[in-house]
Amino acid sequence: MRRILAVLLENEPGALSRIIGLFAQRNYNISSLTVAPTEDNTLSRLTMTTEGDDQKIEQITKQLNKLIEVVKVVDLTDTDHVEREIMLIKVRAEGVAREEVKRTADVFRGQIIDVTANAYTVQVTGPKAKLDAFIRAIGKTTVLEVVRSGATGLSRGDKILTV
Amino acid sequence: MTEMLSGGEMLIRALQDEGVDVVFGYPGGAALHIYDAMFRQQKVEHMLVRHEQAATHMADGYARATGRAGVVLVTSGPGATNAITGIATAYMDSIPMVVISGQVQSSLIGTDAFQETDMVGVSRPVVKHSFIVRRAEEIPEIVKKAFYIANTGRPGPVVIDVPKDTVDPADAFPYSYPETVRMRSYTPSQRGHSGQIRKAVTALLVAKRPVIYAGGGVIQGEASEQLTQIARRLNFPVTNTLMGLGAFPAPDRQFLGMLGMHGTYEANMAMHNADCIFALGARFDDRVTNNPEKFSPDATIVHLDVDPASISKIIAADVPIVSPVGPALDMMIETLDKELEKAPEVLDAAAHSQWWTRIDEWRAEGGLDHHMALDSVRRIRPQQVIQSLYAVTGGEAFVTSDVGQHQMFAAQYYHFNKPRRWINSGGLGTMGFGLPSAMGVQVAHRDAVVACVTGEGSFMMNMQEMSTCKQYGLPIKVINLNNSALGMVKQWQDMQYGGRHSSSTYADSLPDFVALAESFGHVGIRISEPSDLPDAMQEVFSAANRNRLVFLDVVVDPNEHVYPMAIKGGAMNDMILSRTDDAKRIGEEEGAR
Ligand SMILES: Cc1ncc(C[n+]2csc(CCOP(=O)(O)OP(=O)(O)O)c2C)c(N)n1
Ligand SMILES: [Mg+2]
Partners of A163 on chain B (C-beta within 8 Å) are 184
For residue B386 and ligand 1, the question of a CB distance below 6 A is answered with no
Count the residues in chain A: 163
Count the residues in chain B: 593
Separation CA A134–CA A120 (nearest Å) = 14
Mean pLDDT of A127-140: 93
CA–centroid distance, A55 to ligand 1, in Å, is 35
In degrees, rounded to 5, the angle at the alpha carbon of residue B287 between the alpha carbons of residues B281 and B291 is 110
* Residue to substitute in B403, B428, B461, B481 for testing ligand 1 pocket (most ligand atoms within 8 angstroms of CB): B403
For residue B425 and ligand 1, the question of a CB distance below 6 A is answered with no
Query: What residues pair up with B478 in beta bridges, in sequence order?
Result: B452, B551
Closest CA to A43 of A72, A75, A23, A81: A72
Could you tell me which chain B residue has the CA closest to the CA of A11? Answer: B185
- Which residues 9-38 in chain A show a CB within 8 A of chain B? 10, 14, 17-18, 21, 25
Its ipTM equals 0.93
Sheet containing B422-423: order of strands:
B422-423, B398-401, B450-455, B477-482, B550-555, B523-527
CB neighbour list of residue B343: distance below 8 Å, 6 or more residues apart: none
Separation CA B57–CA B71 (nearest Å) = 10
Task: Check residue B129 and give its pLDDT.
Answer: 98
- Beta strands B45-48; B22-25: pairing state: parallel
Separation CA B256–CA B268 (nearest Å) = 9
Q: Do B132 and A14 lie within an 8 Å CB cutoff?
A: yes
CA–centroid distance, B458 to ligand 1, in Å, is 6
Ligand 1 atom closest to B488 (CA): 19
Q: Say yes or no: B346 contacts chain A, CB-CB below 8 A.
A: no
Please state whether the peptide bond connecting residue B564 to the residue before it is cis, i.e. omega within 30 degrees of 0: yes
Separation CA B265–CA B548 (nearest Å) = 39
For residue B487 and ligand 1, the question of a CB distance below 6 A is answered with yes
Task: Check residue B593 and give its pLDDT.
Answer: 65
Q: What is the mean pLDDT of each run of 10 residues along chain B (593 residues)?
A: 93 98 98 98 98 98 98 98 98 98 97 97 98 98 98 98 98 97 92 95 98 98 98 97 98 97 97 98 96 97 97 96 97 96 93 98 93 85 97 97 98 97 98 98 98 98 98 98 98 96 95 98 97 97 98 97 96 94 81 70
Type of residue found at B363: R
CA–centroid distance, B409 to ligand 1, in Å, is 14
CA–centroid distance, B489 to ligand 1, in Å, is 7
Residue tagged active-site, from B269, B488, B495, B537: B488
Separation CA B63–CA B95 (nearest Å) = 7
Query: What residues pair up with A143 in beta bridges, in sequence order?
Result: A91
Separation CA B244–CA B420 (nearest Å) = 9
- Please name the member of A25, A59, A68 whose beta carbon is closest to the beta carbon of B185: A68
Question: How many beta-carbon contacts under 8 Å exist across A and B?
Answer: 33
For residue B482 and ligand 1, the question of a CB distance below 6 A is answered with no
Partners of B184 on chain A (C-beta within 8 Å) are 71, 163
Let me know if B459 is a catalytic residue. Answer: no
Partners of A69 on chain B (C-beta within 8 Å) are 185
CB neighbour list of residue A59: distance below 8 Å, 6 or more residues apart: A26, B309, B313
Task: Check residue B583 and give its pLDDT.
Answer: 85
Q: Has residue A141 got a pLDDT over 90?
A: no
Let me know if B115 is a catalytic residue. Answer: yes
Q: Say yes or no: A55 contacts chain B, CB-CB below 8 A.
A: yes
Separation CA A76–CA A55 (nearest Å) = 16
Let me know if B164 is a catalytic residue. Answer: yes
Closest CA to B50 of B395, B471, B390: B471
Q: How far is CA A98 from CA A94, A116, A137, B593, in A?
A: 5, 11, 14, 70
Separation CA B513–CA B18 (nearest Å) = 41
A47 Ramachandran zone, left/alpha/beta (phi>0; psi -120 to 50): beta
pLDDT per residue as tens digits for the range A9-67: 999 989 999 999 999 999 999 999 999 999 999 999 999 999 999 999 999 999 999 99
In degrees, rounded to 5, the angle at the alpha carbon of residue A46 between the alpha carbons of residues A44 and A47 is 160
H/E/C letters for each residue in chain A? CEEEEEEEEECCCCHHHHHHHHHHHCCCCCCEEEEEECCCCCEEEEEEEEECCHHHHHHHHHHHHHCCCEEEEEECCCCCEEEEEEEEEEEECCCHHHHHHHHHHHHCCCEEEEECCCEEEEEEEECHHHHHHHHHHHCHHHEEEEEECCCEEEECCCCCCCC
Residue tagged active-site, from B9, B10, B18, B52: B52
Partners of A62 on chain B (C-beta within 8 Å) are 308-309
CB neighbour list of residue B304: distance below 8 Å, 6 or more residues apart: B192, B200, B278, B279, B280, B281, B321, B323, B325, B328, B329
Task: Check residue B377 and give its pLDDT.
Answer: 73
Separation CA B421–CA B65 (nearest Å) = 7
Beta strands in B344-443 (DSSP E): 398-401, 422-423
Please answer whether residues B564 and B576 qualify as being in contact, where contact means their C-beta atoms are separated by less than 8 angstroms.
yes
Most distant CA pair in chain B: distance in Å? 85
Q: Has residue A140 got a pLDDT over 80?
A: no
Picking from B185, B310, B312, B314 by the largest number of A CB atoms within 10 A of its own CB, the best residue to mutate is B185
Closest CA to A88 of A2, A4, A148: A148
- Please name the member of A14, A59, A68 whose beta carbon is closest to the beta carbon of B186: A68
CB atoms within 10 A of CB B268: 29
Q: Do B184 and A21 lie within an 8 Å CB cutoff?
A: no
Based on its alpha-carbon atoms, the radius of gyration of chain B, rounded to whole angstroms, reads 25
Shortest CA gap A151–chain B (Å): 24
Please answer whether residues B73 and B23 qualify as being in contact, where contact means their C-beta atoms are separated by less than 8 angstroms.
yes
Residue tagged active-site, from B3, B4, B45, B114: B114
